[in-house]
Amino acid sequence: MKCFFAHGEMKWNGVIGMLRVLHNARLEDGRLVNLHINGGRIETITELQKPSPLSEDGTDLNSWLVIPSMAEPHAHLDKALTAESVPNPAGDLSGAIEAWISATARGEITYEDTIDRAVEAMRLLVSRGVTAVRTHVNVALGSRALEAVREARKLVEGLIDVQIVALTINPMTGQEGTDNRKALETAIETGVDLVGGCPHLDPNPSVLIKDALDVAEDAGIGIDLHVDEMLDESVLTLHDLAKQVMDRGFENSVTASHCVTLGMQSLKKQKEVSTDVAKANIAVLPLPQTNLFLQGREIPTATPRALTAIKSLKDAGVLVAAGADNVQDPFNLVGRSDPLETASLLILAAHETPESAYEMVSVNARKAMGLDKADVSPGSLADFVAIDATSLRGAIADAPMSRKVFKGGVLISSSQQTTQISPEGL
Query: According to the model, what pLDDT value does residue 301 have?
Result: 97
Return residue ranges of the chain for CATH 2.30.40.10.
2-69+375-416
Give the sign of the dihedral formed by CA 331, CA 85, CA 165, CA 123. negative
Query: According to the model, what pLDDT value does residue 424 have?
Result: 73
DSSP state of 375: S
Q: Which long-range contacts (CB under 8 A, 24 or more apart) does 214-218 make?
A: 215/184, 215/185, 215/188, 216/250, 216/252, 217/248, 217/250, 217/252
Q: Which class in CATH covers the domain with range 71-368?
A: alpha beta
Query: According to the model, what pLDDT value does residue 425 have?
Result: 60
Q: How far apart are CA 323 and CA 133, in angstroms?
A: 10
Q: Are strands 403-407 and 410-416 parallel, antiparallel or unpaired?
A: antiparallel
Residue 274 backbone phi and psi in degrees, to 5: -60, -35
Cα–Cα–Cα angle for 111, 113, 117, nearest 5°?
Answer: 120
Query: According to the model, what pLDDT value does residue 2 have?
Result: 40
Query: According to the model, what pLDDT value does residue 4 have?
Result: 45
With 0-12 / 13-18 / 19 or more C-beta atoms within 10 angstroms meaning exposed / middle / buried, residue 296 is: middle
Query: According to the model, what pLDDT value does residue 49 have?
Result: 96
Query: Nearest-CA neighbor of 287 among 238, 194, 375, 349?
Result: 349
Query: According to the model, what pLDDT value does residue 176 have?
Result: 98
Q: How far apart are CA 256 and CA 283, in angstroms?
A: 6
pTM over cut 0.75: yes
Query: Nearest-CA neighbor of 296 among 310, 306, 308?
Result: 306
Number of Cβ within a 10 Å radius of residue 246: 15
Query: According to the model, what pLDDT value does residue 56 have?
Result: 86
Return residue ranges of the chain for CATH 3.20.20.140.
71-368
pLDDT along the chain (426 residues), means of 10: 39 52 97 97 97 92 98 99 96 95 94 98 99 98 97 98 98 98 98 98 98 98 99 98 99 99 99 99 99 96 97 99 98 98 99 99 99 97 98 99 97 95 75
Query: According to the model, what pLDDT value does residue 295 have?
Result: 97
The residues pairing with 405 across neighbouring beta strands, listed in sequence order, are: 385, 413
Q: Yes or no: is domain 2-69+375-416 CATH 2.30.40.10?
A: yes
